[in-house]
Amino acid sequence: MEPRASAPPPASPPEGGLLALRAAWPAVLAALLLRGAAYAAMIAAAVWNELRPAPTLPDLVLARIPYSEAVAGANYLLWLLAYLPLAAALLWTSPRRFVRYNVTGALVSLARGATLLVTGLGAPDPLRAGPGIGGRAPGQAILELISPWQVFAHSSMRAYLTKDLFFSGHTATTFLLLLYVWRWPRLRWPALAGHVLVVASVFLAHLHYTIDVLGAYAVAFALYALREGWPAGARRVA
């Protein structure tokens, strides 16, 4: 009697592309909602931070870097250009990794909100700080600060948030994205270039203290390593 032929193993689902995106869209939506909620909580902490007095600290690095009004005015748009296309490319390349990236990004936002509540530092460059929230109610300020239109078209971040925001969100978000796309060279190098430009713009705009940038690296990498493992686990796709 001839042995019965074994059934071929089931094909593994595709890592990226349209089919993978269709299969993962509920998880993608949930991760984006989670990240949005965490970002809103962080913004609420930033607005509360605006309502208390805080000292300005000396910064040996920032004192030696000239301020650029042009860079300061385009800072958030530069972040958007460096960030959004690569995040979309990660979504297409590996929706499951995009989900994990956004969950980690939500944790970074919550960590930033927590550090804002316990630090309370003044503006890195008081002469160029915005007018602040002024007579606006905190709830109104929060709504304007979580609105992409207000942030990118009307510079609400630059205008309303005058105190230091420990740690640097520009640095943390682009660095975290770099970590998650590192295994794909076609995404790695654009992400690295974008990250370097964004960090340079943070210093040229006098947006953060040097400790904010260093702290962003520490927190983002720590949360990435806790979720993805390091070094061996950092190379796998979840």
Judge whether 13 lies within some domain: no
Chain segment 26-65, per-residue pLDDT in tens: 999 999 999 999 999 999 998 888 888 888 899 999 999 9
The domain tally of the chain equals: 1
The answer to whether residue 213 is domain-embedded is yes
Express each pLDDT in 180-232 by its tens digit: 999 999 999 999 999 999 999 999 999 999 999 999 999 999 999 999 986 55
Is residue 21 situated within a structural domain? no
What is the gyration radius of the CA atoms in the chain, in angstroms? Answer: 20
For residue 122, what are the CA distances in angstroms to 116, 156, 201? 12, 18, 20
Residue 11 falls within a domain, yes or no?
Answer: no
pLDDT in tens, 138-171: 667 677 777 765 665 555 566 667 788 899 999 9
Residue 187 included in any domain: yes
Distance (Å, whole) CA 210 – CA 160: 21
- Predicted local distance difference test score (pLDDT) of residue 128: 75
pLDDT at 124 over 50: yes
CA-closest candidate to residue 213, choices 84, 86, 2, 62 = 62
In a domain, 19, yes or no: no
Q: What is the pLDDT of residues 65-100, one digit of tens each?
A: 999 999 988 888 899 999 999 999 999 999 999 999
- Is the residue at 66 inside a domain? yes
User: What's the confidence (pLDDT) of residue 233?
Assistant: 44
Q: How confident is the model at residue 9 (pLDDT cuts 50, 70, 90)?
A: low
Domain contains 6? no
Q: What pLDDT was estimated at residue 238?
A: 45
φ and ψ at residue 67, rounded to 5 degrees: -80, 135
Domain residues for the domain of 208 are: 27-235
* 75 token code pair: 């800072």
Distance CA 183, CA 94 (A): 11
Least confident of 16-30, 79-93, 116-130: 116-130
Which bin fits 54, alpha (ψ -120 to 50), beta or left (φ > 0)?
Answer: beta
